[in-house]
Amino acid sequence: MKPDRKITAGADLLLVNTPLKNYDLSPRRNDFTLPTIGLGYIATCAELAGFAVDVLDAEALGLGLSKIAGLINDAGPRWVGLNLLAPTYVHSVGLLRLLDPGISVMLGGHQAKAMPRAILEDVRIPRIDALVLGEAETRVPRLLADVEARRELPGVYWRQAGSAIMPAVRTKDPLLLAPDVDAMPLLDRRFLQQDPYIDDGVLESAMVASRGCPFDCSFCGAAISSNPDVTVRMRRPDGLMTEIRQLRSLYGVQRIRFVDDLFLANTRLMRTTLNAFIDEALDMSWDATGRINVLATARDDLLALISESGCREVALGIETGSDRLLSHVDKKITVAQVAQAVIRLCRRGIHVKGYFILGLPTETRGEHQATLDLIRRLWDLTEGLPGRFRCSVFEYRPYPGTPDWQRLIVAGYSPHAMLKYADSLDDESFSPDRDEFNFSTGLQFGEVPVTTIRQNLAAIMREQRQR
């Protein structure tokens, strides 16, 4: 929903991105969050199936729960759909309690897949007509056409007469759980509040080039062991080019940000896609996430191709400066590979953004310091190179449905305590542009106290901003 559009009255489905905080109580500190591409795809597919659909990105608009509820109730949709995430779950529950009881409720998102029974049995939620697990583009239109279709659809649960209904439906149609990414319609960006968006004077748009992940990082909700129903699917280069041309012609987009994890993971597909970028001669730059083990060992001509095709910046999940911890979280990389990948990219004039996590489970004081030392070492190693290195550091947060979650429960941590997120980092030490990441459970998972983790996190990010 763009600023100049009103919510569609009487829609079949109104999808809502719950805000990170209840902005009835405190104003939003930053003015941008990543676009809700998942909700946008569901809305696009449902509209093409003949239904009236809208999306309300309450986080992008900085809306409080009472304002959101008022907008929904005034619009009077048949269905309202919410994406449930661990840090925003409490706000989603609060919002659902404010809605007109005659509106049917559809829930999805990572939390829905990770803890379906707990959600269905959460008595604070007045009604749940469909809890949709996983990718929902092919199932939502079926539910909008007939709610009783939920009895025949895989991965759809609901509550009836106060009881959780969780049928084990088997299907011969794999597209119900893993849609064909090449057959999907192009995302209708009317449904995205902040896309395209201006980033440092450049008009940028977010895209997805793949779905699913073959890796098993223990802290990640996309880990393959937690998603056995999800197959890895890469979009064909011609489909990507069609979308990029559309973004250029309709909106004048100058840069693409690939927000999925696999764009720079498969060397064969990388070559095909990047050559297509060069052949198209679009005069556009792009950012993406890369795999360290792939980029550390890639042939020089592939790195040259990445640069020639317009790559501006590659984001790398480095996480820690400890080889032991890298093995513990199953990253399948080494600290030596990290340095090698960063230097090789920066020498090509490609910027690198490294993601780090402080306070990982079992992290020792020495390993905590090794992570901070690695960040400063990478700054030094890339000093004077055509590409620059920057860091983005986070406090560890456990998520249900991840490999870590079960390990932590076995170690004695309470699921209730691990779900008790607090937006307690709203002080001058934490930049407003990181507001969507400033959440904490307040729990200590390694040797380093949470207060020390936060002090070091704030200090290293302040040092980064000053560079």
* Average pLDDT of every residue of the chain: 92
> 329-372: per-residue pLDDT in tens?
999 999 999 999 999 999 999 999 999 999 999 999 999 999 99
Burial label for 166, CB within 10 Å (0-12, 13-18, 19+), is middle
Q: Is residue 6 part of a domain?
A: no
Check whether residue 97 and residue 218 sit in a common domain: no
pLDDT at 188: 97
Residue 283 has pLDDT above 90, yes or no: no
Strand partners, 204: 197, 255
Residue 435 has pLDDT above 60, yes or no: no
pLDDT at 6: 75
Q: Which of 136, 159, 182 is where one domain is finished? A: 159
Check whether residue 201 and residue 141 sit in a common domain: no
Alpha-carbon distances, residue 325 vs 112, 356, 395, 459 (angstroms) = 29, 12, 15, 22
Check whether residue 122 and residue 46 sit in a common domain: yes
Q: Is residue 47 part of a domain?
A: yes
Which residue, among 285, 212, 210, has the nearest Cα to 240 in the 3D structure? Answer: 210
Residue 434 has pLDDT above 70, yes or no: no
Structural domain tally of the chain?
2
pLDDT at 417: 94
Q: Which of 159, 175, 205 is where one domain is finished? A: 159
Q: Is residue 134 part of a domain?
A: yes
Check whether residue 317 and residue 420 sit in a common domain: yes
Q: Looking at per-residue confidence, does 467 or 324 come out higher?
A: 324
Residue 3 has pLDDT above 60, yes or no: no
Residue 172 has pLDDT above 90, yes or no: no
Q: Is residue 4 part of a domain?
A: no
Distance CA 361, CA 315 (A): 23
CATH number at residue 136: 3.40.50.280
Check whether residue 76 and residue 155 sit in a common domain: yes
pLDDT at 94: 97
Q: Which of 134, 159, 184 is where one domain is finished? A: 159
Confidence band of 265 (pLDDT split at 50, 70, 90) = confident
Percent of the chain exceeding pLDDT 90 equals: 81
pTM to 2 decimal places: 0.94
CATH number at residue 294: 3.80.30.20
pLDDT at 5: 55
Check whether residue 295 and residue 227 sit in a common domain: yes
Q: Is residue 187 part of a domain?
A: no
> 75-119: per-residue pLDDT in tens?
999 999 999 999 899 999 999 999 999 999 999 999 999 999 999
Distance CA 35, CA 193 (A): 7
Q: Is residue 299 part of a domain?
A: yes
- Which residues have a Cβ under 8 Å from the Cβ of 328 and sit 6 or more positions away? 218, 360, 361, 362
pLDDT at 1: 45
Check whether residue 144 and residue 248 sit in a common domain: no
Structure tokens that stand for 198 in this block? 């201006």
Check whether residue 261 and residue 343 sit in a common domain: yes
> 203-259: per-residue pLDDT in tens?
999 999 999 888 899 999 888 888 888 888 999 999 999 999 999 999 999 999 999
Residue 439 has pLDDT above 80, yes or no: no
Check whether residue 145 and residue 239 sit in a common domain: no
The boundaries of the domain holding residue 447 are: 195-466
Structure tokens that stand for 227 in this block? 């998603």
Check whether residue 221 and residue 141 sit in a common domain: no
Check whether residue 322 and residue 393 sit in a common domain: yes
For residue 138, the SS3 value is coil
Report which DSSP code applies to 186.
P
Report which DSSP code applies to 13.
E
Residue 432 has pLDDT above 70, yes or no: no
Which residue, among 326, 314, 257, has the nearest Cα to 290 in the 3D structure? Answer: 314
Distance CA 325, CA 322 (A): 5
Q: Is residue 74 part of a domain?
A: yes
DSSP for 250-296 reads HH---EEEE-SS-TBT-HHHHHHHHHHHHHHT---EEEEEE-HHHHH
Place of tokens 């008790």: 420
Check whether residue 347 and residue 225 sit in a common domain: yes
Alpha-carbon distances, residue 233 vs 183, 209, 262, 283 (angstroms) = 12, 9, 10, 27
For residue 240, the SS3 value is helix
**For helices 267-280 and 300-308, what crossing angle results, to 10°?**
40
Confidence band of 376 (pLDDT split at 50, 70, 90) = very high
**Please, are residues 372 and 461 in contact by the beta-carbon 8 Å criterion?**
no
Q: Is residue 186 part of a domain?
A: no
Report which DSSP code applies to 143.
H
| Average pLDDT estimate for 265-281 | 90
